[in-house]
């Protein structure tokens, strides 16, 4: 199969590194607004299967030109560009996949539209093509694990999604984190936009709106993450899952309290509205994100010793809890992925990069689109076969195993 990756920074470059190690992938076209960005990543990957180019992702005709002849277009640019890249994929008659999406799709879900009525779903369906939405870590692994648990039930009632993080630094005082540099590992601007956005939860079958960092509660994660405050977070699962899990009444997504973004938000620094500073007009969020190292600096070039040291300090837990009924009795099933975000050197040996928590699920979704037969139109990661997905992921050599709990 041949694939095009639009967006070489961060997880796009990591996805290219993973796909370059899969036998079934014949060619990877890695493109960015500036070809030099893609060329730098391709040089690090060091595979003749990776070709580079330049593209304006907001121009469907430009996307079509670089996508001609590929099986799958992988969209790794900002979520608001999705419809442009989708149109380019349609023109090139290629399947499409992304890891994130927002408007117009969020509003369409909130307004009660079904999946078949979403923007461009009809066009993909009529073309015999699939657009797979939200196939990264979250959304992505959240959806796959929720489906895996739900498949063991006769009826699903509620889904809780929780992400917790702890940084362990021996000898550090409780407040040293204030001076620690912040970098989410993906687009810093998109991360801050997500944090500063109002969000929703599904409660008794109806959407309830919450302010940024609303609905704070304490959540118990497996050690060493432990008990942390979590808050409602603007995320794709909230919008898509009520349409893919029949009978779902309650759904929320809560993220660990990210203190630096919370401070930025409270100070007005996440605003996208331009203000005048001296003779210049600038949006506060652009100032903040300009000061944060770009995510591509986290992909390659980190020594094994540094990765091993980081692996001892950074811990992230993804917990998926599904409540439903089996044999007429109420059951609660849980799954957690304790090492998905691990920066360990073993991942670099397998994939050429340790930054795989979004890129690996994305690569698996890409392989499933290119190698198999999926439903046409727009689909979501929880509409894939979860067992096939996880089997393919483990077959790449992924060294960690999720944990499941049934009660």
Q: Which DSSP helix (H) or strand (E) runs through 65? A: helix 60-67
Show Cβ contacts of residue 321 under 8 Å, excluding neighbours closer than 6 positions: 159, 160, 161, 162, 332, 333, 334
Which among 340, 335, 137, 336 is positioned nearest to 236, based on CA atoms?
A: 137
| Mean pLDDT, the chain, whole residue set | 92
pLDDT at 294: 67
Our CA angle for 123, 59, 270, nearest 5°, is 100
What would the mean pLDDT of 283-309 be, rounded to a whole number?
77
What pLDDT, in 10s, does the model give residues 393-404? 999 999 988 888
Structural contact between residues 208 and 250, judged by C-beta atoms closer than 8 angstroms:
no
Asked which of 150-154, 259-263, 274-278 is least confident by mean pLDDT, the reply is 259-263
5 strand-pairing partners: 30, 74
Using pLDDT thresholds of 50, 70 and 90, give the confidence band for residue 83.
very high
pLDDT exceeds 60 at position 297: no
Using pLDDT thresholds of 50, 70 and 90, give the confidence band for residue 292.
confident
**pTM of this structure:** 0.91
DSSP string, 306-333: HHHHHHTTEEEEEEEEEEEEETTEEEEE
Using pLDDT thresholds of 50, 70 and 90, give the confidence band for residue 174.
low
CB-neighbour burial class of residue 209 (10 A; exposed 0-12, middle 13-18, buried 19+): exposed
What pLDDT, in 10s, does the model give residues 115-126? 999 999 999 999
Query: Which domains can be identified in the chain, with CATH numbers?
Result: 2-137+359-401 (3.40.50.720), 141-345 (3.30.360.10)
Q: Which DSSP helix (H) or strand (E) runs through 12? A: helix 11-19
pLDDT exceeds 90 at position 56: yes
Which among 357, 353, 235 is positioned nearest to 296, based on CA atoms?
A: 353
pLDDT exceeds 60 at position 298: no
pLDDT at 407: 79
pLDDT exceeds 80 at position 187: no
What pLDDT, in 10s, does the model give residues 211-267? 999 999 999 998 888 999 999 998 999 999 999 999 999 999 999 998 889 999 999
pLDDT at 308: 75
pLDDT at 95: 98
pLDDT at 389: 97
Q: Which DSSP helix (H) or strand (E) runs through 19? A: helix 11-19
Return the number of other C-beta atoms located less than 10 Å from residue 119's C-beta. Answer: 16
What pLDDT, in 10s, does the model give residues 86-99? 999 999 999 999 99
Here the tokens at position 54 are 């330049």
Between CA 241 and CA 206 the distance in angstroms is 13
Residue 18 φ/ψ, nearest 5 degrees: -70, -50
Using pLDDT thresholds of 50, 70 and 90, give the confidence band for residue 392.
very high
What would the mean pLDDT of 21-35 be, rounded to a whole number?
97
Using pLDDT thresholds of 50, 70 and 90, give the confidence band for residue 185.
low
The most confident of 82-96, 165-179, 312-326, by mean pLDDT: 82-96
What would the mean pLDDT of 59-84 be, rounded to a whole number?
97
What would the mean pLDDT of 363-386 be, rounded to a whole number?
97
Return the number of other C-beta atoms located less than 10 Å from residue 301's C-beta. Answer: 9
What would the mean pLDDT of 255-284 be, rounded to a whole number?
94
Between CA 4 and CA 75 the distance in angstroms is 8
pLDDT at 381: 98
Q: Which residue has the higher pLDDT, 306 or 196?
A: 196
State the angle between helix axes of 359-371 and 11-19 in degrees (0 to 180), rounded to the nearest 10. 50
Return the number of other C-beta atoms located less than 10 Å from residue 4's C-beta. Answer: 29
Between CA 301 and CA 61 the distance in angstroms is 35
Q: Which DSSP helix (H) or strand (E) runs through 396? A: none
Q: In what order do the strands lie in the sheet with 130-133?
A: 50-54, 27-32, 2-6, 72-75, 95-98, 130-133, 377-380
């Amino acid at each position: 199969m041949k694939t095009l990756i639009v967006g070489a920074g961060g997880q796009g470059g990591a996805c290219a590194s993973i796909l370059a190690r899969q036998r079934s992938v014949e060619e990877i076209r890695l493109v960015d607004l500036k070809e030099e960005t893609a060329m730098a990543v391709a040089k690090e990957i060091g595979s003749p299967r990776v070709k580079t180019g330049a593209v304006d992702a907001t121009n469907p005709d430009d996307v079509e030109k670089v996508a001609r002849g590929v099986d799958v277009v992988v969209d790794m640019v900002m979520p608001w560009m999705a419809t442009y890249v989708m149109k380019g994929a349609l023109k090139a008659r290629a399947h499409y996949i992304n890891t994130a999406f927002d408007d117009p799709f969020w509003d369409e879900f909130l307004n009660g539209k079904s999946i078949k009525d979403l923007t461009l779903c009809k066009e993909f369906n009529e073309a015999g093509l699939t657009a797979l939405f939200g196939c990264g870590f979250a959304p992505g692994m959240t959806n796959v694990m929720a489906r895996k648990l739900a498949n063991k039930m006769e009826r699903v009632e509620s889904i809780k999604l929780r992400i917790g993080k702890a940084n362990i630094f021996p000898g550090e005082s409780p407040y040293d984190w204030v001076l620690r540099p912040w970098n989410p590992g993906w687009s810093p601007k998109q991360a801050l936009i997500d944090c500063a956005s109002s969000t929703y939860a599904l409660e008794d079958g109806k959407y309830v709106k919450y302010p940024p960092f609303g609905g704070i509660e304490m959540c118990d994660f497996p050690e060493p993450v432990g008990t942390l405050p979590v808050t409602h977070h603007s995320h794709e699962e909230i919008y898509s899952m009520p349409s893919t899990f029949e009978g779902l009444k309650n759904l929320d997504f809560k993220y660990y309290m990210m203190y630096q973004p919370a401070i930025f938000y409270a100070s007005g620094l996440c605003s996208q509205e331009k203000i005048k500073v001296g003779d210049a007009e600038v949006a506060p969020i652009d100032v903040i994100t300009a000061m944060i190292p770009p995510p591509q600096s986290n992909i390659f070039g980190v020594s094994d010793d540094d990765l091993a040291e980081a692996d001892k300090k950074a811990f992230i837990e993804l917990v998926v809890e599904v409540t439903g009924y089996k044999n007429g009795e109420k059951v609660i099933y849980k799954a957690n992925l304790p090492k998905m975000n691990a920066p360990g050197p073993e991942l670099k040996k397998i994939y050429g990069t340790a930054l795989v928590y979004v890129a690996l699920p994305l690569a698996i979704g890409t392989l499933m689109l290119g190698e198999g037969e999926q439903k046409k139109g727009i689909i979501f990661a929880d509409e894939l076969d979860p067992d096939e997905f996880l089997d393919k992921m483990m077959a790449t050599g992924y060294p960690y195993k999720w944990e499941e709990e049934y009660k």
